[in-house]
Structure 1
């Protein structure tokens, strides 16, 4: 039996709520059991310099956990001045996953910036972030 008392073949409760942030072009509150992730999507009229003039867009992501998203408080990575390897890996995974499902030519020369903020972490933050980013 898992600590959550779920059976081995039992899924976590899943909920996706769109439009939860007023000013973002897209947003989603994802809940996979006790894992909660807020994702916002911003459409920007800019591209990385190396993509300019190629007639296609870009999708990128930022990922972070609130200090009290886990059982014990962790320092914000911004306080140390650099991101950890885990954070960089997850950001790249989210960006690559979303670029694989977008037709970047239809996006035009624009960037979709996805911000994935883990409010509460109880496993599955990567998959929750990717799912929320797709919905946002």
Structure 2
């Protein structure tokens, strides 16, 4: 039952994520790319391989992966100014999350003295942009690695974990998966759960919004998020079945 005075879910139940579609190879200039739509949130992710090591990785046995995140001016209801060298704390926080999540998925030894850039751009935002960016970035990495394998530039599949993410929150007393913007605004607590398709946790962000929650509620939120990530990754695997490793 939907709690009183809380947003409706437009036909999906509490534990159902929004309709997901993902397509790879959408940018002809990038060696790896993906376009992901989750509900009304829409992300394009592209991969760039730079033949220069990150400064802190010089002389190391592996390469580096870094992520950048940006939102188009009309991705939201009101226009936002373009981020031209602006110090935006939220953007930097999301970029660090994306980098940590995606580095956990790839063996970077084949990219020694190189840097992988994953650019995630939000075309339309309706909640969950950071988790959708992780999903889009992971799909773009698969597109990139698939091309390397098919062209003989790599002999072994470098993605060691299929990594996904989902938001989960408490709306009243109800746990809901994949919050849209209207739900996120009224959640008592919400988490962004980053995990593998085998149920291993990589990172959890979030907490209570309207006062403390108890350990049982937090644990249930986390368990629900991990299970939802596995479902999302299964859905992506079916859509991207042509990609080796999924």
Give the structure-1-normalised TM-score: 0.92
Q: How does 1:17-32 map to 2 (within 5 A)?
A: 17-32=23-38
1:31-90 alpha-carbon deviations (Å, 9 max, x no partner) = 111000000001111111221111210000110000000011111121xx3231000000
Residue 77, structure 1, aligned to residue 67, structure 2? no
Q: Give distance in 2, aligned partners of 1:18 and 1:35.
A: 17
The answer to whether residue 130 in structure 2 is matched with residue 126 in structure 1 is yes
| Alpha-carbon distance in 1 for matches of 2:31, 2:8 | 38
Determine the structure 2 residue equivalent to 1:95: 99
Stretches of structure 2 lacking an aligned partner (at least 5 in a row): 141-246
Larger Rg: 2
Alignment partners' CA distance in 2, 1:9 and 1:49 = 43
Give, in whole Å, the separation in 2 of the partners of 1:74 and 1:3: 27
SS of structure 1 residue aligned to 2:95 = helix
Counterpart for residue 152 of structure 2: none
Kindly indicate whether the alpha-carbon contact (under 8 Å) linking 2:40 and 2:124 is maintained by their aligned counterparts in 1: yes
Q: Which of the residues 82, 85, 108 maps onto 1:104?
A: 108
Deviation of 1:10 (Å)? 2.5
- Residue 77 of structure 1 aligns to a residue whose secondary structure is coil
Q: Secondary structure at the match of 2:48?
A: strand
d(CA) in 1 for partners of 2:63 and 2:94?
Answer: 21
Name the structure, 1 or 2, with higher relative contact order (CA <8 Å, separation 6+).
1
Runs of 4+ in 1 over 2 A off after TM superposition: 1-4
SS of 2:130 mapped into structure 1: helix
Task: Determine the C-alpha separation between the residues in 1 that align with 2:107 and 2:61.
Answer: 12
Give the TM-score, by structure 2 length: 0.52
1:9 positional shift = 2.5
Matched, 1:62 2:68: yes
Would you say how many aligned residue pairs link Structure 1 and Structure 2?
A: 134
CA RMSD in angstroms, aligned pairs only? 1.3
- The CA deviation at 1:3 is 4.5
